Amino acid sequence: MVRKYKFILFSIILLTSIAGFVTLAQSQQIYYIQTTSPQYSIVPGSIFIEPLNTSMTLYIAVLLNFTDISSLQSYLNQIYFSPNNFHHWLTPSQFRSNYYPSRSYVKSLVEYLESYHLQFLGQYGLALVFNGSVGNIEQAFNTYINVYYYPFKNLYWFDLVGIENIGPFYYYSNNVTASLPYNVGKYVLGIVGIDSLDPKVVNVIRESWHLSMAKVKAQNSLISSAVISPITIQ
């Protein structure tokens, strides 16, 4: 009988421990922001120069996704292709209520990033704008931001010339896919400003690199500007 009770007690303790481990694992789940993968921002053939000065201030926009893509797609199909619901539009407030991340979610994300000393500058639709030092941005998103040099004249895409006469140029980019705790990151679609592939925007880079930089004649612009602001978003 004593052995039986000991076994039951041991089983309860074991199950409690397992439940605790599961809860801990869930609380520590990581959400990787796939659009920030270096495969999209570090140009093949680039040369690593040095880490971007951690005291530099950057402006970033955290882009949020819709909360229920399948439901949104179904709604769009109905209003465009269903005779019964054709052009039965939602009001802007209804659309936000149905498909935008909740205010409580946005609040939790803002508070999380503010805990890393990022300054919240405002929300513009699905874009949350912040500024902060490179070092704090790196810590908040579990990544590192480096300076790179692209030494070639043209940019290539699958061994074919994509953009001519755009290089050489310096730029910065994160070298690790940015991530957040799952609960605060689950609706984050991307981050604008954590990298820059625009060779015309060199002010931030110039302050972190001690050599003079080559002038770029081309007017082509790649993915994004290095610095964004609420004015840019609007």
Residues 6 or more apart in contact with residue 8 via CB below 8 angstroms: none
Domain membership of residue 17 (yes or no) is no
Spatial distance between the Cα atoms of 57 and 216, rounded to a whole number of angstroms: 24
222 φ, ψ (degrees, to nearest 5): -90, -130
- DSSP class of residue 98 equals H
Q: Which residue has the tokens 């089983």?
A: 11
Domain membership of residue 82 (yes or no) is yes
CA angle 60, 121, 72 (to 5 degrees): 70
Domain membership of residue 58 (yes or no) is yes
Span 212-220, average pLDDT: 38
Residues 6 or more apart in contact with residue 38 via CB below 8 angstroms: 173, 174, 175, 176, 177
Residue 96 shares a structural domain with residue 115: no
Each residue's pLDDT tens digit, 1-53: 544 444 433 443 333 343 343 333 344 699 999 999 998 888 888 999 999 99
Q: pTM, whole model, 2 decimals?
A: 0.70
Domain membership of residue 10 (yes or no) is no
The number of folded domains in the chain is 2
Domain membership of residue 24 (yes or no) is no
Q: What is the domain range of residue 91? A: 69-100
Residue 38 shares a structural domain with residue 82: no
Each residue's pLDDT tens digit, 12-22: 333 334 334 33
Domain membership of residue 135 (yes or no) is yes
Q: 10 Å Cβ neighbour count for 149?
A: 20
Domain membership of residue 20 (yes or no) is no
Spatial distance between the Cα atoms of 123 and 48, rounded to a whole number of angstroms: 34
Each residue's pLDDT tens digit, 51-106: 999 999 999 999 999 988 888 888 888 878 777 777 778 888 888 888 899 999 99
Each residue's pLDDT tens digit, 181-203: 999 999 999 999 999 875 444 34
